[in-house]
Amino acid sequence: MDSLTPYNISLNSSSPTFIYEPFRDGSAALDHGDPAGDRRKGWRGTFSEVQVWPNPGIENVGLGVPLRETYLDGANVTLNFEVDDNPITTTASGSDPACANSGAHVTVYASGLEYNNHSATLRVNAEEETEFLFYGGVVTVGMSGFDSPNSVVQYIDDTDPGWTYEPGGAWKYSAPAGNDAVGDYNETRHYVCGYGANNNARYTFNGASAVQLLGMLNWNLGPYTIQLDEMIWVYNASDLWRESQQVLFFQAGLDPTKDYTIVLMNYDSNAPNASQPYSGVPCTTIDALVLIKAEPPSTPSGSSTPAGTTAPSGSPTQAKTFPPSDAPTVTSVGAIAGGVCGAAVALGIIALLLWFVVRRRRQLRLRRAASYHINLVPNTSSSRGYRDTATTPDDAIASSVPVSLGYAGGRSPTDRTTRDAKYFPSTPSTPGTPFHQSQTRRETVSAEERPTVLDGASQRTPSSEPPSATHPSSDVQTDNDYFDRATTQTLVSVLNRRLHAEYREENEEPELPDYTSHL
């Protein structure tokens, strides 16, 4: 086998790759009597700059960093990227270079794993009035298959003639002129609302070592199946929020010398009668296909192009195709793994970084976070059920991949000011379906009262007493070069000193538990 080099793929908390237990938000929450996903019963999707909670509908747009929050003791989030039922006790500062821009306070990671399939589960051990916010993670896959240490990320739009949409006439096209696909790659999208295995889209490609499929998450979407040659995966795109350019699927371990056919079916055989609350029949979308390919080595003038570097069928022929500035990206340099990008022959996960923040409201009258509580308990269950459809059959998994964005930490996530990630609606406004108000400080408002975010501005309703910002200690006021060179143990020490200082200052208590050996 060729030597492998690491390639990082960032997953935000919205990714269908993550399986949330007992349920995530979206139409799957209806099975649990809560269309919004009550965070006291399960997980709920939110954004760092959202204060007013919307009614369910297909035009809900988040602002800021996507998060998943819960109050439920024992709630789980699992990434089946196939760490392995073994407790993970290694933590590091959120300022670690691998996730320094996420705004997270703590990183949990596993390194030195063999190039193989793995499953990582994070279990929440929460106390009353403790809010757990999950940011996402980074998966490092092994890449090989070419001589050059560089890779090419090639985007194939849904309008590419290489796509085959079946049945003919069933798939609808959203063009830029209709202003219906704002936020999608090239502002175009194909979608179908017929549910069944015959409602599918397929594309044949070659020369790639990894592939990602981009699409949309929304309230009127549902379960879907991905087939890559003989391999099959099942996921769910239902979400309370409208989120464009989400990675519906990713897979490494491809042989760049072979042809592959990827098929998306708007169907799940485990949920043959699935429905969604907005219009009944679940829909699915195609935005773009992303191929990670080898960059061909430079050749002298007049020489022929090396074999094995042809573009995929129907795709653009240029050597490099880069996404627009607002498109999701993959980190091509492994900050923790210390490698450079390449292409893959075997799916290899050598590092998983799950970052999260725990904000505890010690006294409601203080209106601020007084300490950060970390208590992870490994999930010992071996079950891998299907969690995100209107029904919950067993034996299925989930997947997706956009970049994780961050904001300055230390304050309540409902009082952030960073505008790193903006999500824009791409369908006409439609009335939302009423639902009961969740137990939260965010208000429920009607679709008519909800502000429309089209110009990047955010109309925010401040809370009666916004949380105060916490001030980092002088221990972490260092430049980025220091963190780039620092070891994990050094970063853990910095984190502990900061937390000790904040805890003593805010609570007048002498000690804080050691975060490096909490299990």
**What contacts 198, CB < 8 A, 6 or more positions away?**
166, 167
DSSP result, 196-242: STTSEEEEEEESEEEEEEEEEEBTTB-EEEEEETTEEEEEE-B-SS-
DSSP 63: B
Domains belonging to the chain, first-starting first, are: 5-366 (2.60.120.260)
- Label residue 463 exposed, middle or buried (CB < 10 Å: 0-12, 13-18, 19+): middle
Lookup result for tokens 């060729």: 2
**What contacts 178, CB < 8 A, 6 or more positions away?**
none
The span from the CA of 138 to the CA of 330, in Å, is: 10
- Nearest to 54, CA basis, from 403, 390, 429, 359: 429
More confident residue, 416 or 56: 56
More confident residue, 409 or 7: 7
More confident residue, 412 or 483: 483
Per-residue confidence (pLDDT) for residue 491, from 0 to 100: 57
Task: List, for residues 210-245, the tens digit of each pLDDT value.
Answer: 899 999 999 899 999 999 998 999 998 988 889 999
The span from the CA of 1 to the CA of 253, in Å, is: 12
Structure tokens at 16: 């269908």
More confident residue, 271 or 500: 271
DSSP 353: E
The span from the CA of 309 to the CA of 162, in Å, is: 18
Helix, strand, coil content of the chain in percent (nearest 5): 10, 30, 60
3-state DSSP call for residue 446? coil
- The least confident of 112-126, 229-243, 293-307, 357-371 is 357-371
SS (H, E, C) 82-98: CCCCCCCCCEEECCCCC
pTM for the full predicted model: 0.56
Is it the case that residue 432 has pLDDT exceeding 50?
Answer: no
Confidence band of 132 (pLDDT split at 50, 70, 90): confident
More confident residue, 143 or 268: 268
The rounded Cα 317 to chain-centroid distance in angstroms is 30
Lookup result for tokens 């499953």: 119
The span from the CA of 77 to the CA of 136, in Å, is: 10
Which of 213-217, 294-298, 340-344, 350-354 is the most confident on average?
A: 213-217
Structure tokens at 309: 């570097």
- Nearest to 248, CA basis, from 234, 259, 261, 260: 234
**In this structure, is the dihedral angle defined by the CA atoms of residues 213, 214, 219 and 221, taken in order, positive or negative?**
negative
**Is 54:432 a contact under the CB 8 Å cutoff?**
yes
Lookup result for tokens 């009335």: 431
The span from the CA of 264 to the CA of 247, in Å, is: 13
* Bond into 323 cis (ω within 30): no
The span from the CA of 97 to the CA of 110, in Å, is: 15
DSSP 13: T
Task: List, for residues 375-408, the tens digit of each pLDDT value.
Answer: 333 333 333 332 333 322 233 223 333 222 222 2
Structure tokens at 430: 């439609």
Question: Phi/psi of residue 228, each to 5°?
Answer: -120, 100
Structure tokens at 187: 């502002």
Task: List, for residues 458-476, the tens digit of each pLDDT value.
Answer: 333 333 333 333 333 333 3
Is it the case that residue 253 has pLDDT exceeding 60?
Answer: yes
**Is 245:214 a contact under the CB 8 Å cutoff?**
yes
Amino acid at 323: P
Query: CA geometry: angle at 216 spanning 213 and 219, to 5°?
Result: 145
**Is 69:128 a contact under the CB 8 Å cutoff?**
no
**What contacts 145, CB < 8 A, 6 or more positions away?**
2, 209, 255, 256, 257, 294, 342, 343, 344, 345
Question: Phi/psi of residue 124, each to 5°?
Answer: -90, 130
Task: List, for residues 138-182, the tens digit of each pLDDT value.
Answer: 777 766 565 555 778 999 999 999 999 999 899 999 988 877 788
- The CA–CA distances, whole Å, from 23 to 12, 301, 438 equal 17, 58, 15
- Label residue 352 exposed, middle or buried (CB < 10 Å: 0-12, 13-18, 19+): buried
